[in-house]
């Protein structure tokens, strides 16, 4: 029987609660709001809060550390270089896999609050700067990356499993898991949130701009 360290158990519980809360929103609240501007704002606030608040509470009250200890601005130059490299790869991926004739610069507030700024920032803080970092203290990099990427995927699953057929879930699930692997690699190389934050934000921006997500 595998005995998990206390902090890993806490992080697993937090992720489970995040998944449950996001599921409650998708199943019960979203249908009531419909596809409206109010729903977009509510969705943005809930999504960012579900990830960001537990991350901040974990850092402040469990680890008793400062947020900047997790963000790590000391490796900023290295992080920006790797982040730029990751961003170029993301851009090329979109360039050769989507039709840029559909490009439309997203101007609405919820798009920036949720997809482009809020979600990338809070998800990188939690899944890479906290979860991956804690896993790496106790397990080898391969196990740590796979587990953290799996939890990253699990958080995204509710928006698919309640709205899509099983066959339709495979590609987005594999895509999100691959992103988790890539962002984890960038964090390991830089030990800074900025290494993965730049390509993560650019990825979400391009999804919005090319109408793949609305």
Chain segment 14-68, per-residue pLDDT in tens: 999 999 999 999 999 999 999 888 999 999 999 999 999 999 999 999 999 988 8
* Amino acid 180: pLDDT: 98
Q: What is the pTM of this model?
A: 0.94
User: What mean pLDDT comes out for the span 95-116?
Assistant: 83
Nearest to 36 by CA among 166, 214, 163: 214
Residue 214 pLDDT > 50 = no
CB count, 10 Å around CB of 101?
6
Q: How far apart are CA 199 and CA 55, in angstroms?
A: 21
Average pLDDT, the chain: 92
Contact between residue 184 and residue 68 where contact means Cβ atoms under 8 Å apart = no
Q: Using alpha carbons only, what angle is made at residue 56 by residues 75 and 187, rounded to the nearest 5 degrees?
A: 30
pLDDT band at 212 (very low <50, low <70, confident <90, very high): low
CB count, 10 Å around CB of 61?
8
- Residue 102 carries which DSSP code? G
Q: What is the dihedral of CA 26, 149, 173, 96, to 10 degrees?
A: 120
Nearest to 55 by CA among 120, 107, 110: 120
* Amino acid 74: pLDDT: 77
User: How far, in whole angstroms, is CA 190 from its chain's centroid?
Assistant: 17
User: What mean pLDDT comes out for the span 190-198?
Assistant: 95
């Amino acid at each position: 029987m595998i005995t998990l360290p206390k902090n890993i158990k806490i992080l697993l519980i937090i992720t489970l609660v995040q998944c449950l809360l996001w599921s409650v929103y998708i199943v019960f609240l979203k249908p009531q709001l419909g596809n409206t501007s109010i729903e977009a704002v509510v969705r943005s606030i809930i999504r960012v809060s579900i990830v960001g608040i537990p991350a901040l509470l974990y850092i402040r009250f469990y680890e008793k550390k400062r947020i900047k200890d997790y963000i790590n601005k000391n490796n900023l130059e290295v992080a920006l270089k790797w982040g730029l490299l990751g961003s170029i790869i993301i851009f090329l991926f979109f360039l050769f896999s989507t039709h840029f004739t559909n490009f439309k610069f997203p101007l609405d507030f919820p798009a920036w609050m949720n997809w482009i700024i809020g979600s990338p920032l809070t998800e990188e803080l939690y899944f890479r700067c906290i979860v991956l970092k804690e896993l790496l203290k106790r397990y080898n990099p391969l196990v740590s990356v796979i587990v953290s990427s799996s939890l990253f995927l699990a958080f995204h699953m509710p928006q698919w499993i309640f709205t899509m057929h099983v066959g339709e879930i495979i590609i987005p699930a594999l895509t999100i898991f691959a992103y988790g692997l890539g962002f984890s690699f960038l964090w390991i190389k830089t030990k800074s949130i900025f290494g993965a934050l730049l390509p993560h934000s650019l990825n979400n921006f391009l999804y919005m701009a090319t109408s793949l997500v609305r």
